[in-house]
Structure 1
Amino acid sequence: MPHTISAVRPHQAGLLRHMYLPRAADALAATITTYAIPLLILATTGSPALTGLTFAMEWVPRLAMFGVAGCWVDRYGPARVWRTATAIRTAVIVLAAILLPFTTAHVSTWALMTLGAVAGGLTEVSFVAAETAGADASRRADEAGHRIQGVLLGIDQGALLIGPALGGLLIQGGATPMLVAVAVLATLAVAFPIHTGKKEPAQPGTEQVSAVGALREGWRTVRALPALGWLVAGLAASNLSTGVLQASAPITVVHTLGHSTAAVGTIWSVAALATLLAITACRKTIDRWGLWPAGATAAAVVSAGCLTVALTTEFSLYIALVALIMAGEGVMTVVLRTLRSRIIPADVFGATLAVTMTLVLLPLPLAGGLVALTPAPQLPYLLTACATAQGLVLATVFARLRTHTALRPTPGETTS
């Protein structure tokens, strides 16, 4: 049923204030923190081991929080969970911005690493809430739902475009400018609370399940949806390879290629721009050819890129290959989001999202640990091994998915 202009404008205004603005502030704050803290640790300590450990410490609590976040969202509603998580994270960051200038260098290093871990965990809680709210808004928008998902994914990529470069510039003045910027963005996320127009649950009843029970329900849902399970397995294997690439990038760029920490931020900004362009282009590709060809092509590009980037010694080629890899990852993310929005039941979306995201992101702290344990000259060999395993797994996954009905093109298919 077509929307009238008078109905669309208030709806779009509501989405801007209660969905897009808070999501943008939250995503930018999270991106700056994720990329700037490891860079700051490398700049202040010069230790590749601590840099890899910092990357791992950022992701371990994120994974730990997915299960409870999914349970909380299903139980209390995304808006309430969003408000609580963003408010606590803002308070922690403001406290760190006030106290860090008065600490010693050693204490400051470990305090920053701890801050990355705490902020990372709270960020994933708000992420699950925002993803669930976005899915609710998409369902309420009927045939226009893919447009909402397109904007949300564009916001995420825009944050990846701006955040690393901004973080690289801010840390030139030390930790304080970076923390102040993140605190301002986190405050905006609190000031514009996320809301979908859907009635939030009242206080939870006795029939509500625990976090463990919610994860079990989400796991059962994943197992009952073979296409989703195979795609998650492929993305998990891919994330191990790209996680090693991300964790080792500061070491490679600064120690091997001889560039500054600001150059690392530039690399990820260029990669984010390439990803944004790839996501935009792949919508029409999926409309015409379907999910499987787009996903399989992206998988081949990512695997070949990871194998090649391990061998390069030229900075310009390194930037180009990283951009190509992350663009392919972006297309595979579109495939995953499209698939899960189609087939995951709404009443267990939060729990199932928590399980799928945990499985997909589990290799990232492992990647940080591997980089921390690997001497800098041996990092290309580590990346080569991971990229080889990635290519084999992705080839198997997309061979299995080739004839699956959930990934066949349908008339007028759109991404979400």
Structure 2
Amino acid sequence: MQGMRFSVFLGSRLLSGLGDQILQFAVPLLVYRSTGSVALSGLAFFIEWLPRLVSLPLAGVFADRVGGRRVYILADGLRAAACVVTALIMTLWPGSGLAPILLMMALCAFCYAQAFIALETTLPQLVPQSEMAKAQSWLQLTNNGASVLGPALAAALLIWMPATQLLWGCALGFALSATGVLGLTRGASLVPAAGRRALLPELREGLGALLAQPTLLRLVGLAMLVNLIVGLALATAAPMTLGLFGQSDQTLASVQLTMGIISIAAFLLMPWLLRRFSVYWIGQLAFLLILAGGLIMARAPSFGWYLLGCGLSYGLCGLFNVFIRTERLHWIAEQQRGRVISLMVLLNQLSLPLAGLIVALFGSWVPVQEIFLVASLVSALGYLLLYRALAGAARTRTPPQPAPSAVEAGNK
């Protein structure tokens, strides 16, 4: 029964991931097709990411007090409803503008963080601790699979339907995901975590522990530099593909598909790499390749070169994340890991909405490739400033570490 319940949960996560990936493909396409504006595409990306970050500190509190399963069902249910309402508005009132899309994005972004944290609190109630590593591996493989299947499915659907109708596919994925987790009530009780924690004291304690370790702050700095380039790639994928290089909507899907394939390839190469190199050097190589991807996008003379740069910048984040996740565990006391890591994730991802804001402010009068060039040069300078101190303190330089579980290659 337990294996069946986990399989249902895994299937629900796959459906939710597919809905997420189709949504991430459809929204930039709809925004750029509706406005033709690089700046508004950047603004849309900013609006998509800011609620995710704002809601992160609240997500754990909600999961503890309400129960991870209930939060998960509510989050995916709300995302399904938002997609349905927006699809109806855009079908019945084609001239409604960007407002419905932006509101849907903000709500879905807020719910994404809730579902992500709720997942972490629900899984231990479905899987015994002895099988947790195996379960996390399956879960990470499911997430990576969705990142490849989602864009491919979106591209196929665009052959038969307009981009606005993709929202129905997103709604179906979220609705089926919520229904699947709702069915997990049979056979066992999934209850809220015991106890209630005050939010502000927890955050203050985590912030104090983070500020006390300069190495952790340097890791945050490196992650923010990586996310700046990745954020620009995500925020400008539609303007670069459709506008600058004059490609089709289906070709836009190949950008996300390439990023997903490279990400899975890096994930599969990790055990081989860890037998030959230390985690530290894998992280440094990944950073330099991500930086190279940014420079390639900044000077790409054709769509093929742009696709290569985009794939390198996004697809190799998994390798870089292994270094970040492994190194930071050496500097955080076990009893403070949850608080400190949640703050690090929050800070690491601040440069994602910042990338969207930069495009929104400068995209109308500065060529997109010049924005990539400046961001890449800033990241290179930041790396040079951080490298020496980090190299001297890093505890993952030697010897090569055993291969981490698949979840190590997940989000920072």
TM-score normalized with structure 2 length: 0.85
Instruction: Give 1:114's aligned residue.
Output: 103
Instruction: Give 1:166's aligned residue.
Output: 153
CA drift of 1:347 comes to 6.7
Instruction: Give 2:15's aligned residue.
Output: 25
Contact 1:240/1:363 (CA < 8 Å) preserved in 2? yes
Instruction: Give 1:93's aligned residue.
Output: 83
Mark the runs of 5 or more structure 1 residues left unpaired by the alignment: 1-9
CA drift of 1:130 comes to 2.1
Distance 1:38 1:162 in 2: 18
Contact 2:293/2:308 (CA < 8 Å) preserved in 1? no
CA drift of 1:129 comes to 2.2
Distance 2:41 2:338 in 1: 32
Range 247-256 or range 347-356, more displaced: 347-356
The yes-or-no answer on 1:375 pairing with 2:364 is yes
Instruction: Give 1:71's aligned residue.
Output: 61
CA drift of 1:388 comes to 1.4
1:57/1:302 CA distance change after superposition, 3 Å: same
**Alignment deviations for residues 188-234 of structure 1 (CA, whole Å, 9 cap, x no partner):** 211122879896436755xx203x33333433343456554432321
Instruction: Give 1:103's aligned residue.
Output: 93
Counterpart amino acid of 1:29? G
Instruction: Give 2:177's aligned residue.
Output: 189
**Alignment deviations for residues 137-191 of structure 1 (CA, whole Å, 9 cap, x no partner):** 89813xx644433333322222221223433554563354211101110012111
1:131/1:287 CA distance change after superposition, 3 Å: farther
1:69/1:306 CA distance change after superposition, 3 Å: same
Alignment of 1:283-294 (within 5 A): 283-294=271-282
Mark the runs of 5 or more structure 2 residues left unpaired by the alignment: none
Distance 2:389 2:400 in 1: 19
The match for 1:53 among 43, 47, 64 is 43
Contact 1:279/1:331 (CA < 8 Å) preserved in 2? yes
Instruction: Give 2:293's aligned residue.
Output: 305
Contact 1:253/1:264 (CA < 8 Å) preserved in 2? yes
SS at structure 1 position matched to 2:181: coil
Contact 2:263/2:315 (CA < 8 Å) preserved in 1? yes
Distance 1:273 1:337 in 2: 22
Contact 1:86/1:186 (CA < 8 Å) preserved in 2? yes
CA drift of 1:123 comes to 0.9
The yes-or-no answer on 1:354 pairing with 2:345 is no
RMSD of the TM alignment (CA)? 3.1
Counterpart amino acid of 2:116? F
The yes-or-no answer on 1:232 pairing with 2:223 is no
Task: Work out the number of aligned pairs and report it.
Answer: 400
Counterpart amino acid of 1:161? V
CA drift of 1:58 comes to 0.7
CA drift of 1:349 comes to 5.7
Distance 2:224 2:271 in 1: 23
Distance 1:166 1:94 in 2: 19
1:185/1:346 CA distance change after superposition, 3 Å: farther
Counterpart amino acid of 1:16? S
Instruction: Give 1:7's aligned residue.
Output: none
**Alignment deviations for residues 309-332 of structure 1 (CA, whole Å, 9 cap, x no partner):** 210111112212221222221211
The yes-or-no answer on 1:257 pairing with 2:245 is yes
Instruction: Give 1:391's aligned residue.
Output: 380
Range 93-102 or range 241-250, more displaced: 93-102
Distance 1:339 1:150 in 2: 20
